[in-house]
Chain A
Amino acid sequence: NAGVTQTPKFQVLKTGQSMTLQCAQDMNHEYMSWYRQDPGMGLRLIHYSVGAGITDQGEVPNGYNVSRSTTEDFPLRLLSAAPSQTSVYFCASSYAREENLNTEAFFGQGTRLTVV
């Protein structure tokens, strides 16, 4: 099983460039989310989606856009990269069931992004 697949694994951008981080899952999960992980800061939620066509902001959304046109894919777009966006980005997915909120989150392997 592929699970959650993120591409690319590594990326270097120049300040002001744009790019899209890809995330795909094959588990038919309704809920998908993007986190960034910085040293000493833990995982911080950027954006999330509870289903196709529905997205919302998390704790640190500025500078990032998302869309969810299919259940499987949840790309994260950096519109104009800044050095402060240097980080490791993780995509996660899980079931969304009203009767059970304690669902397991499955994570991709991460994208290490450096903005110079």
Chain B
Amino acid sequence: TQLLEQSPQFLSIQEGENLTVYCNSSSVFSSLQWYRQEPGEGPVLLVTVVTGGEVKKLKRLTFQFGDARKDSSLHITAAQPGDTGLYLCACHGAGSYQLTFGKGTKLSVIP
């Protein structure tokens, strides 16, 4: 099972600030997914990155996949209270449908 390390574990920022959260592994990812989980809900997929060096944008969210496919980052520009939630990275095992999740970054955006 591939171990995913996410940092920071907690992040509390003011509305309008920028932030970056990270997902790292000692092994190469075949692909990586980012999910957001709001309180009382299940995780919802934000993006899947597949190619080393890939950058994907989703409104104010920018996702980057490391060139060596061992790390990924999520950058949020001008955070809003609606961005509050738990951000989880996840990867499939080699040749498997099983998803392994990191422990997540809990983000609080204060109005």
Contacts and interface: CB of A to CB of B under 8 A. Distances in A.
Interface in A23-62: 31, 33, 35, 40-45, 48, 50, 58-59
Nearest to A110: B42
Interface residues of B, number: 27
Contacts of B103: 40-42
B18 to A, nearest CB: 25
A94 to B, nearest CB: 7
B50 A102 contact: yes
Chain B, interface SS category: loop
A22 to B, nearest CB: 15
Interface string B60-104: 000000000000000000000000000010101001111111111
Contacts of A43: 43, 88, 101
A109 B104 CA distance: 18
B7 interface: no
Contacts of A35: 101
A104 B99 CA distance: 10
A104 B48 CA distance: 8
Nearest to B101: A43
Nearest to A43: B101
Interface in B1-57: 1, 9, 30-31, 33, 35, 40-45, 48, 50
Count chain B CB atoms within 10 A of each CB in A43, A94, A107 and give the residue with the most. A43
Nearest to B42: A107
A32 to B, nearest CB: 10
Interface of A: 4, 31, 33, 35, 40-45, 48, 50, 58-59, 90, 92, 94, 96, 101-105, 107-110
